Structure 1
Amino acid sequence: MSVEQKIHKLALEYSQRLKKSIEFRLQEMQNDDRSHFLIYQVLGVSEQEGRLVDEYQNKGRFLYKYAGSFLEEAAKLCFLEKFPDARSIRIPNTQGSRPKTFEIDCLVDKNALEIKWRDATTDGDHITKEHTRIQAIVDAKYIPIRVMFYYPNRSQAIRIQQALETLYKGAGGKYFYNETAWKYIKDTTDINLLEILKKIAKENEHGV
């Protein structure tokens, strides 16, 4: 099976799991207490609109979760195709007691890859946690590399990412995002992940 076929199969599996999760949650919501709709109505939101808001909020949570997990796993498939010894590992936290270990999404030789589909956090503590993780990677004699496919839109989240980029580069690592993330995958693995995903999306659009 080619890597493109593997990614196509993975996409189908995630699509089916997403559909089942959403269907189950919507069924659960049929029995939810909707007394909070009173406050929606006080704020000028109708009962029907409030119901849709709650439904799409739940759908959104599942969609973000599955979208992120799928893209991260698809990227790993590309690295595994080129580097069969690539793997996920855990390393000790040499900077503190919590957490005891950090996970490296994909270790390729000495490159410790952190693969993210996007990161829209605005939590300042995120920087401290990432700094600790990066230092633990350096202590383990690996090179920290962050690959993030989609950059956030909001200014506070962008500032967080800019700070993380500084941390990675300051530790001798690399930070790839947006177009540079897709290019890094292609240049490193010889697999054009972006084009494969565009092809699958087009097939879904036309019902192939």
Structure 2
Amino acid sequence: MTIEQEIRRLADKYADNLKARVDERVEEMEADDNSHYMIYKVLGITNEEGRLIDVYQNKGRFLYKYAGSFLEEAAKACFLEKFPESGSVKIPNTIGQRPKTFEIDCLVEGRDAIEIKWRDATTDGDHITKEHTRMQNIKDAGYKPIRVMFYYPNRTQAQRIQKTLETLYAGADGEYHYGDNAWEYVEQCTGIALKRILEAIATERTNGS
């Protein structure tokens, strides 16, 4: 199986699982207590609008989860194709008590500790502390911390968090790749044009092929 076939297999699996989970949830919602629609109506939202809002809110939660998991697994598959020994590795947290371990998504050639994120829209300041602890543990373990994030957040506060993380990675002698640079980094490291493959799949599916 080629890497493109593997990514297509992953896309099929995640698309099928997403559809099944969404269909299940929408069916469950048919039996929900909708008495809260009264408050919606007070705010000018009709029953039908309220129902659609609730349905799409649930669909959005599942879509975000499955989209992230798919892209992260597809990126890992690219590294595994090029570096068969670059599996996930857990290292102990020697600085704090929580969490007990940190997971490296891809450890490439026993040196580059790569964390793969599809996007990170958090605005929680505690996120910085956790990431700093994670980076320090990785560096203390003798690895180079590298963050690869494909989609940068849109909101100002979330962007501030990412700017701080970028500074922390630089301070830990690491690397932070995001946006176009993240796609380029994967291709340069693995020789696999992940974005091109995903664009082809997206075009086929939206054109009904």
- Counterpart of 2:190, as a letter, is T
User: For the aligned residues, what is the CA RMSD?
Assistant: 0.6
TM-score, normalisation: structure 2: 0.98
How big is the shift at 1:205? Answer: 1.5
Match of 1:103 in 2: 103
SS in 1 for 2:88: strand
Q: Matches of residues 137-152 of structure 1 in structure 2 within 5 Å?
A: 137-152=138-153
Q: Deviations over 1:7-29 (max 9, x none)?
A: 01110110000000000000111
Cα distance in structure 2, aligned partners of 1:184 and 1:203:
25
Q: Is 1:30 aligned to residue 30 of structure 2?
A: yes
- Residue 157 of structure 1 and its aligned partner are, at CA, apart by 0.4
* 2:167 aligned residue: 166
Q: Deviations over 1:55-104 (max 9, x none)?
A: 00000000000000000000001001100111101100011111110111
Report the CA distance between 1:170 and its aligned residue: 0.4
Whole-Å Cα distance in 2 between the matches of residues 175 and 65 of structure 1? 23
Letter in 2 for 1:184: Y
Does the residue aligned with 2:146 lie in a helix, a strand or coil?
Answer: strand
AA partner of residue 145 (structure 2): P
Once residues 36 and 127 of structure 1 are traced to their aligned partners in structure 2, the CA distance between those partners, rounded to angstroms, is 37
Identity %: 65
Query: Which amino acid is 1:24 matched to?
Result: E
Q: Residue type matched to 1:201 in 2?
A: A
Aligned residues: 208
Ranges in structure 1 where 5+ consecutive residues have no aligned partner: none
> Quick one: distance in 1 between partners of 2:144 and 2:185?
15
Aligned to 1:39: 39
Name the residue aligned to 1:80. 80
Q: Return the alpha-carbon distance in structure 2 between the equivalents of residues 98 and 66 of structure 1.
A: 26
The corresponding residue for 2:135 is 134
Deviations 1:112-148 (A, max 9, x none): 1110000001111110111111111111111100000
What is residue 20 of structure 1 aligned with on the other side?
A: 20
CA–CA distance in structure 2, aligned partners of residues 13 and 171 of structure 1 = 37
- What letter is aligned with 1:74? A
> How far did 1:41 drift?
1.0
Q: CA deviation at 1:42?
A: 1.0
Q: How far apart are the structure 2 equivalents of 1:206 and 1:9?
A: 19
